[in-house]
Amino acid sequence: MANFIYNTGAARMWSASSGAVDLLADTIKVMLVTSAYAVDRDHEFVSSAAAAEIVATNYTGGFAGAGRKTLASKTVVADLANDRAEFDAADVLWSAIGGATNATIAALVVIKEVTNDAASILLAYIDTTTGSPGLPFTTNGGDLTININAEGLLQLTTV
């Protein structure tokens, strides 16, 4: 599966109404999922993907779980040379993930965490099998760092 922004997630990022997503002000996190997730661009809430969240030592999944990492140093900029807007954040680190219990990470899922998984919003699916640095990754007790591309984590290209 290729990388994409979920349909409803995109609509919420463009909206100013109730339920909108503010990439800079809202709690935006990354969760790790296995290939058991039946990916669908029409999924709206984290509850659709939560059952496929990885199970590994030092990764606590689920709503407000320590495995889901909050994105820091978030920015949104206009890249005039490439005719797009870019959402960027600092690299994400999971320390000593796996070891006693391991999992193979198939994708990163970017979410807006709200009050529970049934209300938290799916924003983007980043397939780690299509060339993300150092992935796919099977946990082994070592550190996992997701190096966010210098061109941003998410891009909106203008036409």
Mean pLDDT by 10 residues, the chain (159 residues): 89 85 96 95 97 96 95 95 93 95 94 96 86 71 90 84
Sign of the C-alpha dihedral computed for residues 91, 92, 96 and 101 taken in this order: negative
In sequence order, the 6+-apart residues with CB closer than 8 A to the CB of 48 are 40, 122
- Alpha helices (runs of H) in 22-128, residue ranges in sequence order: none
Provide the pLDDT for residue 54. Answer: 96
For residue 151, give its domain range: 4-157
Query: 154 burial class (0-12, 13-18, 19+ CB within 10 angstroms)?
Result: buried
Give the separation between CA 100 and CA 102, rounded to whole angstroms.
7
CA distance 66 to 95: 11
As for how many domains the chain has, the answer is 1
Q: How far is CA 84 from CA 1, 47, 80, 159, in A?
A: 23, 31, 7, 9
Supply the pLDDT for residue 131.
55
**pLDDT for residue 16:** 77
- In the prediction, which pLDDT does 132 show? 53
Q: Which alpha helices (DSSP H) does 52-144 contain, by range?
A: none
Instruction: Check residue 136 and give its pLDDT.
Output: 75
